Structure 1
């Protein structure tokens, strides 16, 4: 008896003729091209945008300050995300296969987590820096020095690297989930299944610094508002030179705090969906659909490309530095000492 039903489509594998290969479930041609363009653009922006930030602050002496050194180190973390994480995650997300080996999968995951927490630590220290600068701008230079900034940078790198290495290279992350981990990590797969204990620790490690930053920036903007009102009320009166200087310093610090506050908000918006999804997923039996997970992951990755765009939008000195670098004037002998500020406030 004949049948009108069509034969089932052949199952595609990540590695044909290899026992234990993962099933390949990649997109059709048009969506793949679009996704490669979108994800690739994020990686390019993360690499070259943050590279411009690092070159600008390192090259121009006028930008050598404790705050800017923290910003440079933050840009380095985002730059490394664009180099070591995003390109390989792009292939995994679109092709649904991991072609780079099991050892590099562990290294990739370790870098992913370490650079995320490094960014969070940097932003936390920047928040403290801005709080001191706005609330006590005249004492700030004696409290926050280059050596203090170097200590903060060291902590922001050492702790995340040690933490991620200890968790992922010892295999502690999947204790109690070994069977599930083996099932999802077929040949050609690179999926990390993290148990509830470590997911909860990760969430608290994200939430607590974020909560502290919200409190600090809330206080910063309250103080900034009070300072602005005070300056406005005394604007018509004759100011002494010390009062005038204090007003200019306070204005400058408020501008910097505003821009860096936007950077913190962008970080929270980018990473919050992934953090919540990871927490819910671990306690609900890993039920998140693959496409939801990928959206959350790439929202987080794209944060590494956003910071240079924020600086370009709100920092005139960064726009001027980009013009000098791109035009080649950066190679002139006196370029390092040039003035990047249109006005000294």
Structure 2
């Protein structure tokens, strides 16, 4: 057995397991926590997690079967369905990340008007557009029979069976427009929104620090060590903001860019894509489904609190049931001891 294929198989299994568990935890938090449900970003995160779960359940197992057998998994109908879902879900996840960045941009740049601009109704409209956008490209590819098994990626995906087909020109245009309206558009929105967020956040941090230092100077002669600690804390806040934005944009580029560039490169008949690289680029796309819950939700305080409350409920219920089962025997033992004392 090829060691690289074995590694890729184990990698997909690991990514699928982590993605499924982590995204289910996100949906659990959304279901059980009223605080999470009340927040507008929760709508986008729920939609993102739902798509990631479907990718983990449908697309990852079919790719795994494709690597093992090196053939179309489970027939034409199943492969067409998985191809449709692959196109739809990939587009949906990219645009959901863009919607999250827009939400953060409005929250930071327009904090006073954020409640009126980003209501739950407006968030639902944005999610509706994401679904319509994704369905438009997916249905177009389905109707034009551009969804099939690709051996390069060992997956059922957007694919033109015969490279010399008469409809190749239309397929090339569609693929370019598809990736331009999904990956390129989402990346532009991410970069624009988060760079604006960083710019405004750094400006506010600087103003707050200046006001704080000036206030301290008016109250008491500030010691140089205190001033140094204030400057150090300001530097740490800037570094945290830069780190978060680098994670948001960097994870998007790292996971999607190799796959998109490969898909565009294979449009040239002279370019032959190596199967191992094609599968690796597909695994990078799948890894985004596993990392999204940690990047956008599970490491945030609200979700940690929700998970903690869920664990407390489960543990209390279990302890209650255990105490309930043990109480009759305890009563019997107490009764039996009382009889012994009476007889003595």
Q: TM-score, normalised by structure 1?
A: 0.73
Identify which of 94, 98, 109 aligns with 1:135: 109
* Match among 299, 319, 340 for residue 304 of structure 2: 319
1:42 to 15, 20, 39: 15
Alignment of 1:1-345 (within 5 A): 27-28=1-2, 33-63=6-36, 64-171=38-145, 173=146, 190=156, 192-194=158-160, 195-205=171-181, 206-236=183-213, 259=244, 262-311=247-296, 314-326=299-311, 328-329=313-314
Deviation readout 1:193-228 (Å, 9 max, x if unpaired): 343112211221121331232122111101110011
> C-alpha separation between the residues in 2 aligned to 1:328 and 1:286?
57
CA contact (8 A) 2:252 2:288 kept: yes
Cα offset for 1:265? Answer: 3.0
Cα contact 1:56–1:318 (8 A) shared by 2 = yes
Q: Would the alpha carbon gap of residues 331 and 199 (structure 1) be closer, same or farther in structure 2, given more than 3 Å must change?
A: farther
Tell me which structure has the larger Cα radius of gyration.
Answer: 2
Shift of 1:282: 0.6
**Larger mean Cα displacement after TM superposition, 262-271 or 63-72:** 262-271
Over the residues paired in the alignment, what is the CA RMSD in angstroms?
Answer: 3.1
CA contact (8 A) 2:29 2:306 kept: yes
Change (3 A) 1:32 1:200: closer
How far residue 268 of structure 1 moved from its aligned partner, in angstroms, is 2.2
Distance verdict in 2 for CA 1:232–1:313, change over 3 Å: farther
Given that 2:5 and 2:67 are in contact with CA atoms closer than 8 Å, whether structure 1 keeps it comes out as: no
**CA shift for structure 1 position 159:** 2.0
Q: How many residue pairs were aligned?
A: 282
Give deviations 1:120-176, integer Å, cap 9, x for gaps: 1111221111111101112111111010011111111222023202212332x38xx
**C-alpha spacing 1:282/1:85, structure 2 compared with 1 (3 Å):** same
Give the SS at the match of 1:234: helix
Q: What is the deviation of 1:98?
A: 2.4
**How far apart are 1:230 and its partner, in Å?**
0.7
Contact 1:123 1:264 in 2 (8 A): no
Query: 3-state SS of the aligned residue for 1:98?
Result: coil
Q: For the structure 1 residues 292 and 156, does the alpha-carbon distance in structure 2 shift closer, same or farther, using more than 3 Å as the test? A: same
TM-score normalized by the length of structure 2: 0.73
Take 1:193 and 1:53, find their aligned partners in 2: how far apart are those partners? 33
Equivalent residue of 2:65, what SS?
A: helix
User: How far 1:256 sits from its partner (Å)?
Assistant: 9.4
Residues in 2 aligned to 1:256 and 1:139: alpha-carbon distance in whole angstroms: 22
Q: Give the conservation status (yes or no) of the 8 Å contact 1:85–1:112.
A: yes
Matches of 1:191 and 1:151 in 2, distance apart?
28
Q: Does the Cα contact within 8 Å between 1:43 and 1:86 map onto a contact in 2?
A: yes
